[in-house]
Amino acid sequence: MTGDGPVVGQAAVDQLLEVLDLEQLGAASFRGISPPVGPQRVYGGQVAGQALVAAGRTVDPERYVHSLHGYFVRPGDPAEPIEYQVENVRDGRSFSVRRSVALQHGKPIFFMSASFQRAENGLDHQAPQPPDVPGPDEVPTMADRLARYPERLGIWSIIPRPMDVRYVGEPGWVRPGDRPADPYQRVWMRIDGKLPDDPLLHACALTYASDLTLLDSVLSVHGEVWGPGGVVGASLDHALWFHRPFRADEWFLYDCWSPSASGARGLATGRMFTRDGRHIASAVQEGLLRRVGE
């Protein structure tokens, strides 16, 4: 953090790497911290990424994570360390399954099941990426977007930003009335620096990123926005499937849409594609969504 604004670029990436580098307390227990500057509650992508780090450190590195399913049960306190307890559910010939629980003050704030698989060959197909989406160099940067809405800066003006995030359409935090209804929320993303060549670390970074804009797609259907004059919300659960090898420090398109919203909850789905069109991951999340003041 400097007096000129938030930590960005490689400095922010290095800070993220520190957050993901858990302290090992025992064979299956770890401790994580939050960034020194952040929101009032722990960002969901952070705790999910850290839970995956903990789980992955108990698995043979020749087995790669292919799916995770997690529930957010309590808000996390960023001022307090988070303890992660990992249960070895099963080690089979091809798959390993782990349950990772994040604890603060002796109570779970998040729990996750994650499955890891040794590399195998098999059938291979994918649905095509969406056509005619402008590339990351053809859409505004986050700095360009934020400059148009100084009154909406809020936490964005001080938190570290390890991700380069470029919205194809309007973000969920623009002024009320400035966001047309759109069935899709599409965003280009990448880690804004260089990551080590560790597949687990790239999977954890992608997990971190996957919670950033997914629920925006629920609001996008209605032309709604976050914050004053709009909606407040929180992630309830999160599922992620990893399909093909990737690097989280290279551009990927996060193509999100919402099939349903009701009962103050919204369901969001997302697909991630590399610039050359490879489908690398899929995400599904349900969130709590309430109008401000309700």
Pick the catalytic residue: 34, 50, 115, 285?
285
183, two tokens: 């069935």
**211 annotated active-site:** yes
| Alpha-carbon gap, residue 64 to 115, rounded angstroms | 8
The distance of Cα 172 from the centroid of its chain, to the nearest Å, equals 16
Annotation marks residue 235 as catalytic: yes
Q: Which of 85, 220, 235, 258 is catalytic?
A: 235
Q: Is 117 a catalytic residue?
A: no
Catalytic residue among 164, 192, 211, 255: 211
Q: If you search the block for the tokens 């623009």, which residue do you land on? A: 174
Give the C-alpha distances (Å, rounded to integers) separating 76 from 47, 137, 268: 8, 36, 22
Give the position of tokens 């790239």.
202
Which residues have a catalytic role annotated?
Answer: 211, 235, 285
